[in-house]
Amino acid sequence: MHSYICSIHTTVAVNKPMEILENKTFDELTIGETAELTRTVTEQDIILFACLSGDNNPLHLDEEYAKSTQFGQRIAHGMFSALLVTTAVATKLPGPGTIYRGQDMKFQRPIFIGDTITARLELIEKKKRGNLIKINCTMINQRNEVVFSGVSTAIAPSEKIKIKASPLPKLSFEAEA
């Protein structure tokens, strides 16, 4: 098992175009509307999540230990998949200005380093009082296997927002001897 030193660099790539985030207001949303977010899980994702959460379960960080488990290899933290769902809600449907209220969730399969997972969102309910919405969330891997499912509850924004996405800092990791 390695221990890691995490460094954050706040430089921004100058030649990279800024992503534009645009929301859908409560009034613009329609039942059945969908959105997706896809990401390939890296070792750095798992290390960063462990650093952020303090969850150093060897199932996530220790290759030798993980080989002896039912999974045969390291897996991503379950809450990492929930985090990707919240990211999809906050950036895709409805997008910026959304206030997350809750998440019912079920972890159905492990997510391994190198898996490409897609969070699929579908708006299933709107309640005008309080701009409350419910979103069905399903996450699949590259083999089209469901790894996560649930329902998000949120408050949809009432004002239109179109904004440049804030740049994320670059991160680097070094294994300590």
What integer pLDDT is reported at residue 14 of this predicted model? 46
For the residues of 50-119, what is the DSSP string, one character each?
HHHH----HHHH-HHHHHTSTTSS-B--HHHHHHHHHHHHHHTSS-TT-EEEEEEEEE-S--BTT-EEEE
Per the CB < 8 A criterion, the answer to whether 88 and 14 are in contact is: no
pLDDT tier at 112, thresholds 50, 70, 90: very high
- Alpha-carbon distance 48 to 172, whole Å? 10
Percent of the chain predicted with pLDDT > 70: 86
Rounded to two decimals, the pTM is: 0.85
What integer pLDDT is reported at residue 15 of this predicted model? 47
Q: What is the mean pLDDT of residues 37-42?
A: 95
Q: What is the mean pLDDT of residues 149-175?
A: 86
User: Has residue 16 got a pLDDT over 70?
Assistant: no
What integer pLDDT is reported at residue 51 of this predicted model? 85
